[in-house]
Amino acid sequence: MANCTQCGRKLPAWTLRRICQWCVQHEAAQRGELDDNVRQRVMPAPWVRHGESTITLTHIIFGANLAVFIAMVAASGSLTDDFPFQVSVRLGANYGPLTLSGDWWRLLTYMFLHGNLWHIAVNMWCLWSFGTLCESLYGRWTYTAVYLITGVAGGLTSLAWNPHVWSVGASGALFGLTGALIASLYLGEFSFSDLSIKSTLASLLFFCVFSLFWGFASSNIDNSCHIGGLLSGLILGALIARLAPDHNNVLRRAAVLAMVALAVAGSGFAVRQWRGAPYRMERAFESLSTTDPDRALAQLEAIARQQPNSPDIHFALGQTYFSQQKFPQAESEYKRVVALQPQNRDALFELGMTLLSEKRLDDAKNAFSQLAAQNDAAGHLGLGLVLAAQEAHQAAIEEYKQAVQLNPKLAGAQYELGRSYAKLNMYDDAIAAYLKEKENTGDLPDLETALAEAYTAKGMTQQAQQAQSQAEELERKK
- The answer to whether 314 touches 337, Cβ cutoff 8 Å, is yes
Q: Are 8 and 191 in contact (CB under 8 A)?
A: yes
Active-site hit among 226, 247, 380, 393? 226
Amino acid at 477: K
Of 246, 250, 205, 181, the residue nearest 45 (C-alpha): 246
DSSP 155-196: HHHHHHH-TTSEE-SSHHHHHHHHHHHHHHHHHS--SS-HHH
Helix-strand-coil percent breakdown of the chain, rounded to 5? 70, 0, 25
For 338-344, the CB contacts below 8 A with 24+ separation are 340/309, 340/311, 340/314, 341/311, 343/374, 344/311, 344/315
- Return the sign of the alpha-carbon dihedral for residues 20, 25, 26, 28: positive
The catalytic position among 158, 167, 171, 224 is: 171
The two beta strands, 166-167 and 94-95, are antiparallel
C-alpha angle with apex 175: 243 to 199, nearest 5 degrees? 75
Burial of 150 (0-12, 13-18, 19+ CB in 10 A): buried
216: how many CB neighbours lie within 10 A of its CB?
Answer: 11
Total residue length of the chain = 478
Active site residue 171: yes
Q: Report angle CA 63, 66, 70 to the nearest 5 degrees.
A: 140
Sign for the CA dihedral angle at 237, 241, 247, 252 comes to negative
Query: Within 10 Å of residue 213's Cβ, how many Cβ atoms?
Result: 11
The residues, any chain, with a CB within 8 Å of residue 465's CB and separated by 6 or more, are: 452
DSSP secondary structure code for residue 1 in this structure: -
CA distance to 81, 294, 319, per residue, from 118 (Å): 10, 46, 47
- Rounded Cα gap, residues 159 and 175, in angstroms: 17
Where in the sequence numbering do the catalytic residues fall?
Answer: 171, 226
